Structure 1
Amino acid sequence: MINEKQLKQSWRGKVNNAQGLLFENSIKAACQTYRNRGIAEIDKTPEPFRVTKKHPNGEFTGRFTAPAQPDFQGTLSEGRSIVFEAKYTTTDRMKRDVLTTEQMDVLEYHRKLGALTAVCAGIQDRHYFIPWTRWRDMKLHYGRQYVTQADVEKYRVRFTGAVMFLDYIHPQSN
């Protein structure tokens, strides 16, 4: 029998998944806007997944076939690659370890090759495009392994119904 704590955890997981999907769809909307304006061609990277069994009710069983790639990858109009992860939380802080070691390794590899790398973060009702090196060295910059909205305010981006991750609210000197 499922206890109340398990029900709450299950509910919280479903709510978080739904909010994460909304966040991702808001980023996809920005990608379409940037495509339409000739600013960038950026796509959501599909998960490496294989269906192992189809069930009569339309559901299926599957498994991941490889470590996940960064959430979004593409090219900016001047030819530079862009690679970033998308993470969302309803809490007041975003922990560094929401990225897996594999995700961090891939972002670092792309950074070394010259790509624009970042974490597109949604913290409660605000959105940020945090440069990968800032995220990577969070402990050095903030003295801890998480950030709050106040910490990353300079990386805040416009929200128009779409997370306009290339449109900083505050001018950037990076």
Structure 2
Amino acid sequence: MGYQRRDINRKSNYDGKFLERLIEQGCIYYEHKCLALIEKTPEPFIVTKLGQRGTFSGRFTGRAQPDFKGTLKGGRSIAFEAKFTSKDRIKQDVVTLYQSERLTYHEAMGAVVGVVCMIGRTVAFVPWSTWKEMQSIYGRRYMTEKELKEFQVPTPGYVDFLSDYHNKEKLR
């Protein structure tokens, strides 16, 4: 049983990293088009011991911030979290309390804020105003893939998470 759980965790970790790479490709696309400069936020981590063949030990030095932050053309800020699930729903609490507080603060300062998430084959940018109000909107603290489709974004080799912003400014 332990091996099955480890394999499931490994696949979920791989899928989450894959989503982040697709988002980073979107960031590169936006930068080349002079639409935005958005970067992955490094984890607060220090190396405590170097091992052989590139291995190391380390520890986290702080709480995780939102995964991506940057500036859109025109000067508006953006901050968002990236979340993948292999389940049939994405729970609101996958965003930690600290990340939630930070995203809410960015929103209050006028930034475009949300969560890029993936359920099944659906990738979406859920505005923070919707994410934080799941309970009042859906009557529960999670979204299904069907509900996520309302916020679905194109994925032409990258996550085009700003497609709605540039087309409709829907993310306000």
2:146 corresponding residue in structure 1: 150
**Is 1:41 aligned to 2:34, yes or no?**
no
Q: Counterpart of 2:11 in structure 1: which amino acid?
A: V
Counterpart pick for 1:114 among 110, 114, 118? 110
Question: For 2:126 and 2:142, how far apart are their aligned partners in 1?
Answer: 13
Q: Counterpart of 1:75 in structure 2: which amino acid?
A: T
Which residues of 2 match residues 22-171 of structure 1 at below 5 A?
22-168=18-164
TM-score by length of 1: 0.93
Q: Counterpart of 2:152 in structure 1: which amino acid?
A: R
RMSD: 1.6
TM-score by length of 2: 0.94
Whether the aligned pair in 2 keeps the contact of 1:120 and 1:165 (CA below 8 Å) is: yes
Whether the aligned pair in 2 keeps the contact of 1:43 and 1:74 (CA below 8 Å) is: yes
Q: Counterpart of 1:83 in structure 2: which amino acid?
A: A
Greater strand share, structure number: 1
Question: For 1:56 and 1:147, how far apart are their aligned partners in 2?
Answer: 44
Task: Give 1:170 deviation, angstroms.
Answer: 9.0
Q: Counterpart of 1:105 in structure 2: which amino acid?
A: E
Count matched residues: 170
Any stretches of 5+ residues in structure 2 without a counterpart?
none
Q: Counterpart of 1:14 in structure 2: which amino acid?
A: R
Question: For 1:123 and 1:170, how far apart are their aligned partners in 2?
Answer: 24
Aligned-pair identity in percent equals 41
Q: Counterpart of 2:146 in structure 1: which amino acid?
A: A
Whether the aligned pair in 2 keeps the contact of 1:67 and 1:102 (CA below 8 Å) is: yes
Q: Secondary structure at the match of 2:87?
A: coil
Task: Give 1:86 deviation, angstroms.
Answer: 0.3
Question: For 1:39 and 1:57, how far apart are their aligned partners in 2?
Answer: 40
Greater helix share, structure number: 2
Whether the aligned pair in 1 keeps the contact of 2:112 and 2:171 (CA below 8 Å) is: no
Question: For 1:52 and 1:122, how far apart are their aligned partners in 2?
Answer: 34
**Is 1:12 aligned to 2:8, yes or no?**
yes
